[in-house]
Amino acid sequence: MWIQDILAKKKTIFALSPMADMTDSPFCQIVRMIGGADVVFREMVSSEAIVRENAKTMGMTDFVESERPIVQQLFGADPLTMANAAEIVMRHAGPEGIDINMGCPVYKITSNFNGCALMKEPSRAAGIIREVKRAIGATPLSVKIRLGWSDPDEFRTFIPIIEEAGADLITLHGRTKVQGYAGVSDWDRIQEAKKIATVPLLANGDIHEPSEVWEALDQTHADGVLIARGALGNPWFFSLAHPLAQQVDLKEKMRIIREHARLHLVHYGRGNLITFRKHLAWYFKASRLGCEIPHIKEIRACLMQVNNFSELESVLERVAPLQ
């Protein structure tokens, strides 16, 4: 079981959070290549689409061996459909774990009784966990939740319910669904949740810089952290969170971007980089670059127009030449 293996070795879990359209195979490969992350959670996929064996959705669960250990996140509202989807994913991809999304606040998800909407229906949530656990057996099952739908104390009754149903690990985001991503993540309540939980608990929310990892752990007493937006455009986040880590220079950052783009092209089998531009936008945020770059506005504009690797290469050469 990956959870116990990591905790036995280093006491603290550093995990990459599932993020829609972002934590795909190429990005997870880059994070694992750089090092520091103990496990990567792949972007959520629809249980209904998996059961229909939708080609695009099935492809989203594909991975390469270097990404292991990986956890595949599923979302859905029907217990049997979720269980069937988990079985299919285990046969198709064989991840080290399955994660159930009960924390997404986005209306498109919650309006169909998925994501955080399940926190309003604890009996349904428990039924989903029981059926999925029955389907995957000894494979670890984790659940991602929020403090609650509107009441930031809902987690107090929800955590025991999902633990009893079979959750092996819980990730808690320190906001309610109603808050969305507004305000600040309530690390004090995550600490309270840690006192309630009898299974390992990961803290999530507002850990934007590597230095904040230890602040979050000290304040929450969690068993680890699940890093989301802090890792976008910053795949060396986890390595920099380790003691005695060396800073990454600009040339190395450009090398990583090139490698990420190459993996993106290999994975998607397309000759253009249009779908890679979202990553470039993150890589070239001022907070990610860490230094002043002449004509940065012009460079960012050019990056948002690159179509292929040679065009990307010419822009990156302006930032930090290979030679």
Rounded to whole angstroms, the Cα distance separating 97 from 71 reads 4
Dmax over CA atoms of the chain, in Å, equals: 61
99 CB neighbour count, 10 Å cutoff: 27
Q: Among the residues of the chain, which ranges form H helices?
A: 2-10, 25-34, 47-51, 55-59, 79-92, 107-110, 122-136, 155-165, 187-196, 211-220, 237-240, 250-268, 277-283, 286-289, 296-303, 309-319
CA dihedral 281, 283, 288, 290 (to 10 degrees): -110
The tokens describing 257, both together, are 């971007």
Phi, psi of 179 (to 5 degrees): -65, -30
Give the DSSP per-residue string, 172-187: EEEEETTTTT-S---H
Rounded to whole angstroms, the Cα distance separating 17 from 231 reads 9
Identify whether 104 is a catalytic site residue: yes
Amino acid identity of residue 166, one-letter, is: G
Query: Of 124, 40, 17, nearest to 76 (Cα)?
Result: 124
Geometric angle at alpha carbon 188, from 184 and 194, rounded to 5°: 125
292 contacts: CB under 8 Å, gap ≥ 6: none
Q: Which one of 104, 116, 291, 302 is the catalytic residue? A: 104
> Which residues belong to the active site?
104
